[in-house]
Structure 1
Amino acid sequence: MKTIKVGGVPEHFNLPWHRCIENGKFREAGVDVIWKDFPEGTGAMCKALRSGEIDVAVILTEGIIRDIINGNNSRIIQTYISSPLIWGIHVNAGSSYKNLKDLKNTKAAISRMGSGSHLMAYVNAEHLNWDTKELQFEIVNNLEGAIDALKKDDAQYFMWEHFTTKPLVDDKTFRLIADCPTPWPCFVIAASDKSLEKDSKELKIILQVLNKETESFKLQKNIDFELSERYGQKLEDIRKWLDLTSWSQEQISLNDLEKVQQKLLDLNLIQDKKDSKKIIHNFK
């Protein structure tokens, strides 16, 4: 039985993967899936894909597209979450910042360069007509690092998924200033070219098993209670998040790929666009 190493963030989006692993669904289909959490997010997963530490990543769309264009020998094999990601823009609860205007010319905490928190700071700045060349960043590695940086005023705001950070808003560690949704499907599944070469059959099986799980995921009995307990979130927040979230069983569209590439180019986050068909892999 072949082993496929999969990486993803330790967040509620990825419960379908954990249920498939814990209930032995991948193994029943003939594949041993080993999961690795990446609290640091997209930048760390891009690095792990490049090094061969993982074969597959459940990763932010804009982050992996940028890294593929910049030389990561990987391809998108499917959209995972087709709805936008709601990025909350957070400040320290005790800070004097009350609205987005107050944050102009301040420093954003980011997990690392090339991460979602880094790229979305540019998207947010563009929305606000800020000069993106003036953006400043403090690398904090993960959520705990962001809490510390905002508390010490090493950075003044932090963008992270709205519902993941909601408990920190509730306990008054952070204050939510605004939300900034991605203008495209937020998560895709990417595989390294090496894995696509040698494990194509197993990757197809993984998608088949996963897609069967995600098709009915929201309809499963007490799934809201399970998500609430496992991820330490209020039931009302999980229910709201479930309403806003859609899982996909399809490849990302060329139109969405073009939209992301154009935005990255407009923001000077890539030098050139790439043929969208070379960013994806469609199984025969």
Structure 2
Amino acid sequence: MTDIKIGGVPEHFNYPWYITLKNKEYAKKGINLRWQDFPGGTGDMCKALRSGEIDMAIILTEGIIKDIINGNPSKITQLFVKSPLIWGIHVSNNSPFKKIADLQHATVAISRFGSGSHLMAIVNARNNGWDTNKLKFKVVGNLQGGIDALTKGEADYFMWEHFTTKPLVDNGLFKRLGDCPTPWPCFVVAVTNKALQKNYTEIKNILNIINNCTQDFKKINDIDEILANRYDQKIEDIQKWLSITHWSDGKPITKNLIGRIQNKMVSLGVINKREKSSELIKNMYF
């Protein structure tokens, strides 16, 4: 058996991995795939890829592009979710802020620098014409850290995936002032260069298995009820999420797409300059 370690956020996007692991589909190919949850998100996974703690990650597009440019020895092997991620912009329920424009000089809670919550705060600021050099950040680690920071008044607003935080809005802990969708496909699969060199065939088999699952994921009987129960969501919210979420099913990621994403990231001030797209990707041909 070949040991491969993979990480991802403990959210509904990654339920196909749970299914394929539960069904022992990787073991049938001689692969001991070990999943690790990363509640801290993309910044945490970038660190784990760099250290070799994990070999693969299901990770936010903007975060891993920025980190590979900054020296992370990994490659993007494919898109995982090709639709945008909807980031909710949240304040505490007793906050005086009423609209997004009120947040221009407020402190934003982020899981860590280089995370999606950090980079999308920059995107949101640019969208609203704010000076991104004047943004004030409070590092909080993860979603629970964001809850604590807003509740204690240590930060003013916090951006996190819309549907994951919906129960917090429903129970009155958070108020959502609006949403900020990513201007690019949201999740990719990143693999360390070391794992690609050492276990290329196994990585290819893993991707084949997960892509077969995502292809038919929405057709699974009662998938809306299963996800609603597992992730403490209202069924109507899960149904809406399923209707707007689209997996890539393993279609190759093109240099043109990565180039366009980089151009957008440069224009939004998320990265300073673009690199050769070929330096960022390693297509696996299925």
Q: Same fold (TM over 0.5)?
A: yes
- 1:268 deviates by 4.0
Aligned positions of 1:23-102 closer than 5 A: 23-102=23-102
- CA displacement 1:69-110 (0-9 Å, x = unmatched): 000000000100000000000000111111011111101000
Q: Which residue of 1 aligns with 2:198?
A: 198
The CA distance in 2 between the partners of 1:108 and 1:259, in whole Å, is 28
- Structure 1: give runs of 5+ residues left out of the alignment: none
Report the secondary structure of 1:15's partner residue: helix
Conserved 8 A contact 1:55-1:191: yes
The CA distance in 2 between the partners of 1:283 and 1:242, in whole Å, is 27
Report the secondary structure of 2:221's partner residue: coil
TM-score, scaled relative to structure 1: 0.98
Conserved 8 A contact 1:61-1:187: yes
- CA displacement 1:4-56 (0-9 Å, x = unmatched): 10000000000000100011111112211100000000000000000000000
Letter of the structure 2 residue corresponding to residue 265 of structure 1? V
Letter of the structure 1 residue corresponding to residue 101 of structure 2? K
- Structure 2: give runs of 5+ residues left out of the alignment: none
The CA distance in 2 between the partners of 1:31 and 1:277, in whole Å, is 28
The CA distance in 2 between the partners of 1:228 and 1:91, in whole Å, is 24
Q: Which residue of 2 aligns with 1:109?
A: 109
Q: Which residue of 2 aligns with 1:168?
A: 168
Report the secondary structure of 1:94's partner residue: coil
Percent identity over the alignment is 55
Q: Which residue of 2 aligns with 1:272?
A: 273
The CA distance in 2 between the partners of 1:256 and 1:164, in whole Å, is 27
Q: Which residue of 2 aligns with 1:151?
A: 151
Structure 1 runs (4+) deviating above 4 angstroms are none
More divergent stretch after superposition (243-252 vs 3-12)? 243-252
Q: Which residue of 2 aligns with 1:118?
A: 118
CA RMSD of aligned residues (A): 1.0
- 1:3 deviates by 1.1
Number of residue-to-residue matches in the alignment:
284
TM-score, scaled relative to structure 2: 0.97
Aligned positions of 1:217-236 closer than 5 A: 217-236=217-236
Letter of the structure 2 residue corresponding to residue 273 of structure 1? R
The CA distance in 1 between the partners of 2:29 and 2:54, in whole Å, is 20
The CA distance in 2 between the partners of 1:126 and 1:197, in whole Å, is 39
The CA distance in 1 between the partners of 2:76 and 2:210, in whole Å, is 16
Aligned positions of 1:240-279 closer than 5 A: 240-248=240-248, 249-279=250-280
Letter of the structure 2 residue corresponding to residue 274 of structure 1? E
More divergent stretch after superposition (76-85 vs 255-264)? 255-264
Conserved 8 A contact 2:56-2:192: yes
- 1:264 deviates by 2.9
- 1:261 deviates by 1.5
